[in-house]
Amino acid sequence: MNPRLLGGLTAALFSAGLTLGAGLAAAQPNDYTALIIDPNVVTDSQAYTAGTPTLNPGGQPGATTVFTHRDGGRTITDTVWVLADPAAASSAINQAQGSTAIANQKLASAAVGSGGQLITGTSPDGTQSLSVLYFTEGNAASAIQFAGPAADPVPSDLVIEMGQKQDALIKSQLGT
């Protein structure tokens, strides 16, 4: 191969890497909104509208966004924390589980990320169905909560599918 061409390709790749890195670095420090998966990737693509993202939910570095279904009766709250290490991520999950009130809880393992757990039940007053998927991916922790009509809980396959897409997004963005 032509050494000059090879050198040019190397330079181009190096430049592209720098550009990508600069793109991530150029975002606001600790602005992790790019880690939030849009639930419309697993719906008819128009079902949910995103609310204004909240940075550093619970005082931990990360982001959370509430997506509201057009029927007004269903919400998906997606939260991702980016912490110092995997142990801190697990700790954040434990803390999040402890602070979420779910009545009539049922716990099941979920094939998402590391230590994926799906907790299903109802709101304490019984008026809503609640399902929350927790998992970690490297030093990131994620909680995705689905709230809807009491008689129409979110299907588990949708939870798993969205969780896996969230996990893939974390991997691609953080390189974990």
Partner 1 sequence: MRRIVMGLAAAGVIAGSLTGVQTANAAQPSNATPSTPHNSPPIITALDCYGTTGNMGCGPGFFWRDGWRGWACYPC
Q: Kindly list the residues in this chain that would bind partner 1 in the complex (CB under 8 A).
A: 40, 42-47, 69-71, 74, 146, 148, 152, 154-155, 158
Name every residue whose Cβ is closer than 8 Å to that of residue 126 and which is 6 or more positions away in sequence: 103, 150
CA 4 to chain centre: 44
User: Using CA atoms, how far apart are residues 164 and 144, in angstroms rounded to an integer?
Assistant: 11
**Nearer residue to partner 1 within complex by CB, 44 or 125:** 44
Measured from the CB atom, the residue of 2 and 45 that comes closer to partner 1 is: 45
Q: Which is nearer to partner 1, 133 or 140 (CB)?
A: 133
Q: Could you tell me the smallest distance in angstroms from the CB atom of residue 114 to partner 1? A: 26
| Nearest distance in Å: CB 44, partner 1 | 3
**Which residues have CB under 8 Å from 86's CB, separation 6+?**
114, 136, 138, 139
Task: State in angstroms the smallest separation of the CB of 18 from partner 1.
Answer: 40
